[in-house]
Structure 1
Amino acid sequence: MSGGASNNILSLTIDELKEKISEEVGRAIEVSLPRFIERLQNTLLSTMEEKIGELREDLTNDRGKSKEKKGCSYNKFMACKPPIFNGEVDLIACQRWISDIEGVFERTHCDASDFVAFGTGQLRGQAKDWWDNLRNERGVEATRAMTWEDFKTPFLKHHSPKAVINKIKEEFMQLRQKGETVDKITGTFMDKLKFCDELVKAEEQKIYYNHTMLRAEYREFMTPSHYESLTDIINAVWEHEIELKRQVERGERRALDENPSPAKKSKVAESSKKGNAKGGSPSCKICGRARKGECYFKNKPCVACGKTGHGVSNCPDKVTVCYKCYQPGHKKSECPELTGKKEGADSKNETPKSNARSFQITAVEAKMEPDVVTGVDFKTVVWLP
């Protein structure tokens, strides 16, 4: 074989070998490529999920921090027109201001740390002077760290003294409807009822006191024991008021004299006294009113004890409440607090009385004494210390 032919065969063999290698490599790549791609995809997906989770956590934290920092701005709080308190010594007005401003806190989602700062910004006049004085006493840092409950305690103590609360309790016990409408007297009743929790606890007691304050035109058609809640009797009174107005419009009833003059009251009192003096109707043992014949309240239960056969005025189980100490069992005139004070005052004011002394002298001796008034013929002269 010549040298040229051998070179051709060698070149062909190398080409075939390269081709063979290429084919094998291609086959190997085809077999391993899907697995490689799958691994690559899994690696990329896991990495992406991890990064996305971290981003979500960071976003959540940032939103939480932004909400905590944002809260309610002062401009948003003022846009709701929070009420102003001038510092009047009125327990009802004080409680209403607290309730109204807490309602603004709730509606604006105000942060609790801003309650005192925003709330005290609505104080004016004497209330503002009180707050400035308290802040000077406790210091700026202490008032900044003060919670809303810490603020309300001295605030209510200063603007609602015990004497005012006792006065409201006494007014509640003596509350009677005169010339007011049902709506007005009911509003007054509810305002004072908030401060009489110690006196009026049960629902039956609330119904009883609400019925007692009404005018006779309403009481005579209503029995407290027929109502289960205070709301029921209030609604019934409103309905009866509407019916009375309709009767007046139809001419079936005279209009109620809402503001009777003092002269008219005295005439009515005098006529009633004359009637009793002339031997009028005797007082009923059940209801205590002057009437003839059978009493309408004979079979009706007493509003105080629920038993029949007597009225509230003659109830043996009726509890007497003192208007001074608000304790049952005695009247205000018999209150130990008042009687104790009177006895102490009387004992302090008592001074020892001196006994009178008398001396008997003659008329001549009387003329000789410079301390004796002469000009009257007398035998006995009395000197008082």
Structure 2
Amino acid sequence: MYVDFTKTENRQRGCTYKALLGCGPRSFNGTEVAVGIMRWVEKNENVLDISGCANDQKVKYATCTLADEALTWWSSQVEAMGRESANQLTWEQLKRLVLDEYCPRKELQKIVAELWDLTMVGSEVIAYTTRFNELARLVPHLVNPEYKRIEKYVWGLAPQI
């Protein structure tokens, strides 16, 4: 007998850890700066979605991508909360914990200052745009609504543009 599960049914069942690894999750070791954290979050959000992980699997699987200092930090969180409680966190709660730990207020203040001072150097519009987008993702409140993002982006462009 052949059973054909729909995408919805597969999502309800979730994914296997092997399937998740096949999608190439990004690891985080705790030494990267804020942009590295955001890249870990973005990549793993995509991987968790593509692999079809159920909501109750996301924290369990995502924390398997932590290494070195970050893994030690997570182990202390598990010890304090208990494994069952830690694994019941939502993906949003885990992201908040990681950001609070590895992107403290002082680091965010540096990012805000860099975003405000960011200007295009020479004709490096691609480098400027990439860095602008990285910083804007970290402090979205400074570039929302969209007109603020556009104004800030245009303000940093080279005068000839």
Fold agreement, TM-score > 0.5: yes
1:156 alignment counterpart:
99
Deviations, residues 143-177 of structure 1 (Å, cap 9, x unaligned): 23333233222122111111111111111111122
2:138 alignment counterpart:
195
Query: 3-state SS of the aligned residue for 1:136?
Result: helix
One-letter amino acid of the counterpart of residue 111, structure 1: A
**Shift of residue 182, structure 1, vs aligned partner:** 0.8
Partners of 1:116 and 1:200 lie apart in 2 by 29
Selected match of 1:142 from 81, 85, 89: 85
1:92 alignment counterpart:
35
Partners of 2:29 and 2:153 lie apart in 1 by 32
1:75 equivalenced with 2:18 (yes/no): yes
1:215 alignment counterpart:
158
Structure 2 gaps, min length 5: none
Q: Is the 8 A contact 1:89 1:160 kept in 2?
A: no
Partners of 1:67 and 1:202 lie apart in 2 by 37
**Shift of residue 180, structure 1, vs aligned partner:** 6.0
Partners of 1:209 and 1:69 lie apart in 2 by 42
List, as ranges, runs of 4+ consecutive aligned residues in structure 1 with deviation greater than 6 Å.
none
Q: Is the 8 A contact 1:83 1:122 kept in 2?
A: yes
One-letter amino acid of the counterpart of residue 206, structure 1: R
Q: Identity over aligned residues, as a percent? A: 26
2:67 alignment counterpart:
124
Change (3 A) 1:156 1:213: same
Q: Is the 8 A contact 2:20 2:51 kept in 1?
A: yes
Change (3 A) 1:194 1:149: closer
TM-score with structure 1 setting the length: 0.37
1:114 equivalenced with 2:54 (yes/no): no
2:116 alignment counterpart:
173
Deviations, residues 91-125 of structure 1 (Å, cap 9, x unaligned): 22212211211111111111222111111111111
**Shift of residue 212, structure 1, vs aligned partner:** 2.2
Change (3 A) 1:212 1:149: closer
Partners of 1:133 and 1:148 lie apart in 2 by 18
Structure 1 gaps, min length 5: 1-59, 219-385
One-letter amino acid of the counterpart of residue 128, structure 1: L
One-letter amino acid of the counterpart of residue 78, structure 1: L
Q: Which has the higher contact order (CA 8 A, sep 6+)?
A: 2
1:184 alignment counterpart:
127
Change (3 A) 1:176 1:72: same
Larger helix percent: 2
Question: RMSD of aligned C-alpha atoms?
Answer: 2.6
Change (3 A) 1:165 1:207: same
Total equivalences in the alignment: 156
Q: Which has the larger radius of gyration?
A: 1
